[in-house]
Amino acid sequence: MASIKIRAKASDGVTTIKALIKHPMETGQRKDKKSGKLIPAHYIQEVTCEHNGTAVMTALWGPAVSKNPYLSFKFKGANAGDTVKLSWVDNKGESDSTETKVS
């Protein structure tokens, strides 16, 4: 199952990326209501976006980011039909990535 939904739209030389990432983003400070034990930390540490293989954005995240985070940013230089790749890595070594074409 893909954890990333992404859209990339170019307008007047600026491309807007909108992404929704499905991830629990546990801080490691919340307790399980049934057992009373701490839920282990599990959060995204790095999100990167590449345009035709060149990094255009890197975000370093921590446990304070909300569950299922939404990310939106803009960059210049993309054209319709170009490839944009978004990927993430979390503190447990899990990762995911997806690609889309700029519309």
Low-confidence ranges of the chain (pLDDT < 70): 1
Strand, helix or coil for residue 24: coil
Give the pLDDT of residue 1.
Answer: 53
The domain of 75 spans 4-101
Q: In this structure, what token pair is assigned to residue 35?
A: 């057992």
Look up the CATH number of the domain holding residue 56. 2.60.40.10
The pLDDT assigned to 79 comes to 94
Q: How many domains does the chain have?
A: 1
CA dihedral in degrees (54, 57, 58, 63; nearest 10)?
-150
User: End-to-end alpha-carbon separation of the chain, Å?
Assistant: 24
User: Does the predicted model carry a pTM greater than 0.85?
Assistant: yes
**Rounded to an integer, what is the distance from CA 79 to the centroid of its chain?**
22
For 55, phi then psi, to 5°, come to -65, 130
